[in-house]
Chains A and B, each alone.
Chain A
Amino acid sequence: MKSDRIRKTTPRRTVARKLAPEVPNDIPHVAVAAAPGIEPATYREMLRFMVLTRELEDRIERKLYRQGKIVGGVYVGRGQEAIGVASCIQTEPEDVILPSHRDMGAFLIRGMSPRRILAQYMGRVDGYTRGRDGNMHMGDLDRGVIPFVSMLGDNVPVAAGVGIAFRNRKKPHVVLCYFGDGATSRGDWHEGMNLACVQKAPIVFICNNNQYAYSTPLDFQMAVKNVAQRALAYGIPGEIVDGNDVLAVHEAVRRAIDRARSGFGPTLIECKTFRMTGHSAHDDAGYVPEVLFKEWELKDPISRYRQYLVEHGILRQDEIEAMQTDAVREIDGAVEWAEKSPYPEPEDCLNGVYSEK
């Protein structure tokens, strides 16, 4: 036996350790989450933005793209609208968001207009990139929206930088950083997460776990069942929510924002959801079992939320229908406006390469 003097070592631990809780497979079809502290107007606004997001994206993907009016690729977040909307609606004007390509609702809530977004997709000068891009690569620093880039996971170190700047300057602002399940297997994600967490930066990391990274199912790209489990490596809370329940997402993000603003550092929120389309408009998702679409169709975040609002007497059926009609009208007008916007002149292409500030 070794002497006590030498034998002062870290005790060996077994690997059996409490893991993040599992989400039941049978998510109820009706939202059941309690929603403390939500203003009546917020209930309404959340539905309005979800409806508007769906209408805008449906128009882009199912009409304009098929009519050949979109110059680039189209990546929509159908079925995932609750995540971007329920989280971003809680931001203050000075907060900063880094959305992913499935978070159109977040762009809209920050005040980016449907008509300019449509012009962006159609490659017109009034698009956010002045016709240089025909896709989601858009942002608006005045509105605290850092543009999305296609190298998924790259926004995490950027978010860490923004969060550290807020902390160093003693600003009470927070950062909302969005990504998908596939991005969490990327190196940038790891470096960004570690930096943000060791520096206790005020960030909420929101994962749209839509089960597929392009055509790769979740269990082909990571060995853990839940993205939230990855939080263990960074010493931060990892939370799993039903991403198709707008109120559940709202509640989880509310707590995470409070935590971040109070100086306790980041939280990782895994929103379990499903991509109700292909990866993009040119992908028919033939690799996704049909049964999954059928299953998740029943959990559609908008239908569930509408049902909740009516059952709880928050909104009447006719108010909801009027909201739908308004969204269609708004997008009609926006398409008309965007189509009138010209294509950029070739001579202009050297302008706007660098920030003019």
Chain B
Amino acid sequence: MLTKTQLHDLYYWLLLNRTLEDRIVSLRRAGEIPGAVQTSRGQEAVSVGTSYALEKDDIVAPLLRNTGSLLVRGFKPEEILAQYMGKGTSPTRGRDCALRMGDLKRGVVASSSSLGSLVPVVAGIALASRMRRLGIVALTYIGDGGSETSDFHEGLNLAAVQKVPMVLVLEENGWAFSTPVSAHAASTDFLARAHAYGVAGFEVDGNDVVEVYETTRRAAEHARNGGGPALIVAHTMRTGGDSGPHDAWFVPKEAVERWKSRDPLRVYEQYLDDGGLVAAEERSRIAEQVRAEVDAAAALAGSRLLPDGIQALGGVYHEI
């Protein structure tokens, strides 16, 4: 059972994730963001619930759409905004304008746009954890489309045969960019993959943050206790298109509407109401706080300078 603080936290992170991304979309439309924007609208419960279930020393490797994971792991809204706006103070010092950023001090491995490529990397981290007896779990994400890549196969197979403490969250959101899952996956029964690789399998409603959190706890404990990797299949839906500039006309309207009615924030609010948990007034206070935070972050990020051309050669290699 979640404590009051935890329930409060989950609401805060979900709302911060949503509010921040809404702001990012507005800034993109206002021409403040030079690159593409990939939001997690509709999938926030997966990023938040999984990351929140980890321990402090655990490692997480988010994908472009896992803004919530970055927030939970301590990335400030201002850093994320500065990153999107290409400012010189951003985590990549203005070299990249998407969430391809990490910070090993905060246990976050930077993502890559080549989907699937993080699976072998995270398997390696988990292998190091096992060999050095660090007791940490490494978690990463993959979409239904990314799960058809060779890297996914090799990474998960290696993790399975080496029985490493890895948690792989498969966000089944129905679409790989514009390709529906039925057109790209030979079997849409993603849980069956757990049997194909010999790992523990969990299936979860990805729009239910409590269920995601509790399942991830169980999966992480299984991995931490030497049971080998766990695959969590989270069913969800991208309700904001693939990326900012286009409108996802290829997704049937009914599907989007159906999933919007199951919006993760609404599902969670309903849960809180039903259980009489975090009262509506308190939720308004949290919403107020989140809005103020995002406003301040946007103002701060907006005031930062773009990187100086002369700096472009710095930071190319790791500075020891």
> In the complex, A193 Cα to B153 Cα: how many Å?
11
The answer to whether A9 and B184 touch across the interface, beta carbons within 8 angstroms, is no
Interface residue A2 (Cβ < 8 Å from any Cβ of B): yes
> In the complex, A194 Cα to B148 Cα: how many Å?
7
> In the complex, A33 Cα to B202 Cα: how many Å?
39
> In the complex, A2 Cα to B273 Cα: how many Å?
9
Instruction: State which of B72-80, B186-194, B281-289, B301-309 sits at the interface with chain A.
Output: B186-194
Output the residue of A2, A186, A197, A219 with the most chain B CB within 10 A: A2
If A6-B267, A12-B204, A223-B228 touch, does A191 touch B150 (CB 8 Å cutoff)? yes
The answer to whether A15 and B195 touch across the interface, beta carbons within 8 angstroms, is yes
Where the two chains meet, the residues of A that have a C-beta atom closer than 8 Å to any C-beta of B are 1-3, 6, 8-10, 12-13, 15, 17, 19, 185-191, 193-198, 219-225, 229-236
Of chain A, the residue at the smallest CB distance from B181 is: A198
The answer to whether B191 and A234 touch across the interface, beta carbons within 8 angstroms, is no
Of chain B, the residue at the smallest CB distance from A1 is: B274
Set of chain B residues within 8 Å of A230, measured between Cβ atoms: 196-197
The answer to whether A221 and B186 touch across the interface, beta carbons within 8 angstroms, is no
Set of chain A residues within 8 Å of B207, measured between Cβ atoms: 9
Set of chain A residues within 8 Å of B195, measured between Cβ atoms: 15, 17, 19, 224, 229, 232
Set of chain A residues within 8 Å of B271, measured between Cβ atoms: 2, 6
The answer to whether A189 and B153 touch across the interface, beta carbons within 8 angstroms, is yes
The answer to whether A223 and B150 touch across the interface, beta carbons within 8 angstroms, is no
Task: Looking at the assembled complex, report how far the CB atom of A281 sits from the nearest CB atom of chain B, in whole angstroms.
Answer: 29
> In the complex, A224 Cα to B154 Cα: how many Å?
14
The answer to whether B150 and A187 touch across the interface, beta carbons within 8 angstroms, is yes
> In the complex, A230 Cα to B211 Cα: how many Å?
28
If A9-B208, A15-B200, A198-B185 touch, does A222 touch B152 (CB 8 Å cutoff)? no
A sample of 25 cross-chain residue pairs with beta-carbon separation below 8 angstroms, ordered by A number, consists of: A1-B275, A2-B270, A6-B267, A6-B271, A9-B211, A10-B203, A12-B204, A13-B191, A15-B194, A15-B200, A185-B154, A185-B157, A186-B150, A188-B150, A191-B149, A191-B153, A198-B183, A198-B184, A220-B161, A223-B160, A223-B228, A229-B195, A233-B186, A233-B192, A233-B193
> In the complex, A239 Cα to B270 Cα: how many Å?
47
> In the complex, A170 Cα to B205 Cα: how many Å?
41
| One of A1, A9, A197 near B187 (C-beta < 8 A) | A197
Leading 4 A-B pairs by shortest Cβ distance: A187-B150, A223-B198, A235-B187, A197-B186
Interface residue B235 (Cβ < 8 Å from any Cβ of A): yes
Interface residue B260 (Cβ < 8 Å from any Cβ of A): no
If A6-B270, A222-B160 touch, does A235 touch B186 (CB 8 Å cutoff)? yes
The answer to whether A191 and B148 touch across the interface, beta carbons within 8 angstroms, is yes
Set of chain B residues within 8 Å of A193, measured between Cβ atoms: 186
Q: A190-B152, A224-B160 are in contact. List 6 more A-B contacts (CB 8 A).
A: A1-B274, A9-B208, A186-B150, A186-B154, A198-B184, A229-B195
Set of chain A residues within 8 Å of B270, measured between Cβ atoms: 2-3, 6
The answer to whether A221 and B161 touch across the interface, beta carbons within 8 angstroms, is yes
Set of chain B residues within 8 Å of A185, measured between Cβ atoms: 153-154, 157
Set of chain B residues within 8 Å of A220, measured between Cβ atoms: 161
The answer to whether B161 and A222 touch across the interface, beta carbons within 8 angstroms, is yes
Task: Looking at the assembled complex, report how far the CB atom of B299 sits from the nearest CB atom of chain A, in whole angstroms.
Answer: 36
> In the complex, A168 Cα to B163 Cα: how many Å?
42
> In the complex, A220 Cα to B150 Cα: how many Å?
19
Task: Looking at the assembled complex, report how far the CB atom of A236 sits from the nearest CB atom of chain B, in whole angstroms.
Answer: 7
Of chain A, the residue at the smallest CB distance from B172 is: A10
Interface residue B124 (Cβ < 8 Å from any Cβ of A): no
The answer to whether A10 and B186 touch across the interface, beta carbons within 8 angstroms, is no
Set of chain A residues within 8 Å of B151, measured between Cβ atoms: 187
Interface residue B29 (Cβ < 8 Å from any Cβ of A): no
> In the complex, A97 Cα to B275 Cα: how many Å?
62
Interface residue B240 (Cβ < 8 Å from any Cβ of A): no
The answer to whether A194 and B185 touch across the interface, beta carbons within 8 angstroms, is yes
If A191-B149, A233-B196 touch, does A10 touch B235 (CB 8 Å cutoff)? yes
Task: Looking at the assembled complex, report how far the CB atom of B159 sits from the nearest CB atom of chain A, in whole angstroms.
Answer: 9
Output the residue of B195, B200, B205 with the most chain A CB within 10 A: B195
Of chain B, the residue at the smallest CB distance from A219 is: B161
Task: Looking at the assembled complex, report how far the CB atom of B235 sits from the nearest CB atom of chain A, in whole angstroms.
Answer: 5
> In the complex, A3 Cα to B268 Cα: how many Å?
11
Set of chain B residues within 8 Å of A232, measured between Cβ atoms: 187, 189, 192-193, 195-196
> In the complex, A259 Cα to B186 Cα: how many Å?
17
Of chain B, the residue at the smallest CB distance from A192 is: B150
Of chain B, the residue at the smallest CB distance from A234 is: B186
Interface residue B262 (Cβ < 8 Å from any Cβ of A): yes
> In the complex, A191 Cα to B153 Cα: how many Å?
9
Task: Looking at the assembled complex, report how far the CB atom of A15 sits from the nearest CB atom of chain B, in whole angstroms.
Answer: 5
Task: Looking at the assembled complex, report how far the CB atom of A203 sits from the nearest CB atom of chain B, in whole angstroms.
Answer: 12
Set of chain A residues within 8 Å of B235, measured between Cβ atoms: 9-10
